[in-house]
Structure formats: C-alpha cells, structure tokens
Structure 1
C-alpha cells in the first residue's frame, strides 16, 4: 500500500472508530466506505474487522451492565447470525465491482434517510416480523461488508433503549459477529497477511475510544452524526462511480 494511502486509511479509521465509541455502530461502514476509494473491499475487511473486535470487546466489557441481554439473545443475534453466514457464503460468488457499487447504494440510502429525517419526527414501533426480516438482512450485509449497523439500527427503531444502553447492546452484537468473521478470515487465509496492518493501525483505536468517550458525554450526538452522514453521501456517490483516490 502506498504511504499516502496508508496515511489516508489511518485518518478514515480514526474518524470511524471515534464515531463507534460515541454511537455504538458505524466504524466499519465508514472506514470501509471511505477505504474502498483506496483498496478493494476484500482487502480492507481482514484489516477492519479484527480492529473492530478489539474496540467492541473493550466497550462490551466496560459497559456490560448496560447491555440488554434479552433483546440481544432473543431478537438480534438469531437473525444476525443466519444473515451473516448467508452473506459470507455468497461473497465469493459476487462480482467485486458490483459489490462495491451495491455497497455504495446502501450507504447512499442510509445516509440520505438520516439526513432527510425530520428531528421532530416520531419514532414508530417496528412490528416484530419486520424487525426479524430487517435483522436478517442486516446480518447478510454484515456477512458481505461487515457493515450491518445501518439496517440493524433501522430494525431497532422504536426500542425503549436510551443512547447508552443502545450503544452497549450494539457493540456486544459487533463483538460477537466480528469475532466469528475474524475466525472465518483466519480459516480462509485472509487474516495472516493483514496482521501487520492491523497492528500498525491498532494505536488509533486507543485515541478513537478516548475521543469518542468524551464526545459521547459532551457533544450533541445528532449534529456530530449529521456531519458523518454528509460525508457518507459523498462517499456513496464515489463508490457507485468507478474512481480511486490513489
């Protein structure tokens, strides 16, 4: 990887993992969407997923008392696990460029949805069958891109969790699923070549957690996320169009 690309990816990782420390999701979806301007998605995943389990493992342990275990085990993990397995098994059969463009469409949909949503709009309760279907679809996206967060957050719309309990529950989901994906990458041979880059980017996790913890307490989460969604709109457009930074 050229030095310029390595430095740019480091900036993307810091931004993405700071956001996850604030909200409980978004690290891989942001780092992957921006990083895909530099490298193929299949090369990025074995770097970003092990980094994610380091962060989510720490946050899951620190905030373990805030995790909604009933929601996690009963409503989230069953569908997410099935979907993740399905997405992982399908990924070798999909065209890389089409996968990248499909990911761009997903990013655009999610970011535009969040940017256009009225702040005063009431959150409606999601019927259980829609929640289960959306959770399984989120798992499939996670198996393909390790980025099931947007759809999972949609599935959890209307849940009574406050932002701290939601964050704790979400990071427990990512720790579980990304632990399984990391094992899969180890078995299919993709993890070992990526380990030097995982180690080189690991110090950024410490800085990201430190920044994210403070921003979680002090900064209005909505305004911070609006800026991220605006970046994602631009990124989604760039992913749909064949273009690279370096």
Structure 2
C-alpha cells in the first residue's frame, strides 16, 4: 500500500485526537508517518496543514492570548531555534533524524504517562533553564516541527490559566509554522508537496468534526493515557 495513503489515515487520526485532547496533531501524524516515510518529505505537507487549524483557533481565541509571554519570551527564542534547526537538518541523515525524533517522542510520552500516574504537579524552572528549554524547543521545531513537548516542559508551573496557556501555545504554532511554510515555499519543497496537501485538507475537517463528536462521549483522561501509550510504542518503533 502506498505510504502516502497511510499518511492520510494518520492525519485523520491525529486531528481527531487533537480535537478531543487539544494537542498533538503534528507530533502524532509525524511520529506515525516517520515509520514509513522520511521526515524531510513529511514536513512540507504536515506543517502547512497545521496552520489552517492553528490559524482558525488563533483568531477564535485571540482575546485569551497572553501577548507579553508570546512576544517577549517565547517567540524570540523559539524563532531563533527554529531557524537553527532548519539550517542544521540538511546535515543530518534521515536515519539520524528518525532516531532523534524517536527519543524525543519516548521522553515526551513516558514523562506524561508518569506524570498522570503520579498526579505530579509541575514546578516552575529557574529563568535561565526556562529560556534554554525554549531555545531547545525551537530547535526541535526546526528539525521536526514538534517543539511542543519541550515548550510545555519549559512552561511548567506557569501562572497562566488554562485558557490563556492554550491560546498562547496555539498562537506559537501558527506563527512558527507560518515561518516554516514560508521557508518551504522559498526552498521549493512546498511546491512539490502541494498536490498531496490539497488532498489531505478534507481529512483535517473530518478529523475535527469526528473529534468534537468524540469529545463529549469519551473519558478524556483515559483517552489521553491511550494516546501517550500509542506514542510511546511508536517512539520505540522509530528506533528500530
């Protein structure tokens, strides 16, 4: 079976999960897709697809965005890290990228499962550690368009309420993925990915509608545990 058809299924699953839980469309689609396809081939498809959803949600929740945190703290560091990650990526082999991404996914999923099992309350990091983690989050975003795991860890213990935290993160992904999409346009990779991208857009809509329907019918805590368990298995699959 054509791996790009499998990617269509993965995109549908990823956006359904995001509509239920509020996180992870690129992380999930990329972690599953990377088992069958090289990461550099996947990014020009998955990143532009994500800005459609994050752009809509950024406009919808614009009043909840905490602009000082976004503009003064997160974006300067993550934008610099994203550009560095993009410039470094051509120097890394596809197999090394896959292994590094697998390690990131295992750390992320394992940490979340441990946190949920132990009812762990996150504590704030020292300011220097927070900034270093944000720069690292930008680097992983430039490499894998998956800066979320490190950024959420960097913001542990933040005083932002849930609505402001979520809206601010959505604005981060819209901004950085728009930057990456512009870069893909300039380097020519977006043009070659465009035909596939057009076919995948309806799956985003179906996934969101399906996720909204499931959101009111499933136990979200148990669902999140299943998602992280799936990611943990996928991370190990990427290593082998």
Q: Normalising TM by the smaller chain, what interval? A: over 0.9
Q: Which runs of 5+ in 2 are unaligned?
A: none
Asked whether the equivalents of residues 79 and 139 of structure 1 are also in contact (C-alpha less than 8 Å), the reply is: yes
Query: How far apart are 1:16 and its partner, in Å?
Result: 1.5
Query: How far apart are 1:119 and its partner, in Å?
Result: 4.2
Correspondence for 2:148: 149
Correspondence for 1:82: 80
Query: How far apart are 1:126 and its partner, in Å?
Result: 1.9
Mean Cα deviation higher: 122-131 or 55-64: 122-131
Per-residue displacement from partner, 1:205-243 (whole Å, max 9, x unpaired)?
Answer: 1122234445566755432221111111111111111xx
Mean Cα deviation higher: 214-223 or 8-17: 214-223
Q: Which runs of 5+ in 1 are unaligned?
A: 242-246
Query: How far apart are 1:81 and its partner, in Å?
Result: 0.5
Shift in CA distance, 219/161, structure 1 to aligned 2, threshold 3 Å: farther
Asked whether the equivalents of residues 49 and 146 of structure 1 are also in contact (C-alpha less than 8 Å), the reply is: yes
**2:134 aligned with 1:160:** no
RMSD of equivalent CA atoms: 1.8
Query: How far apart are 1:183 and its partner, in Å?
Result: 0.6
Alignment of 1:84-123 (within 5 A): 84-117=82-115, 118-123=117-122
Query: How far apart are 1:68 and its partner, in Å?
Result: 1.3
Correspondence for 2:37: 39
Extract structure 1 runs of 4+ deviating beyond 4 A: 213-220
Between the aligned partners of 1:211 and 1:165, the Cα distance in structure 2 is 25
Per-residue displacement from partner, 1:2-36 (whole Å, max 9, x unpaired)?
Answer: 54x33321221122123333454311111111001
Between the aligned partners of 1:72 and 1:115, the Cα distance in structure 2 is 28
Shift in CA distance, 192/27, structure 1 to aligned 2, threshold 3 Å: same
Task: Identify the match of residue 57 of structure 1 among 48, 55, 58.
Answer: 55
Shift in CA distance, 18/70, structure 1 to aligned 2, threshold 3 Å: farther
Between the aligned partners of 1:104 and 1:67, the Cα distance in structure 2 is 31
Between the aligned partners of 1:129 and 1:215, the Cα distance in structure 2 is 40
Correspondence for 2:188: 189
Correspondence for 1:244: none
Shift in CA distance, 164/210, structure 1 to aligned 2, threshold 3 Å: farther
Correspondence for 1:69: 67
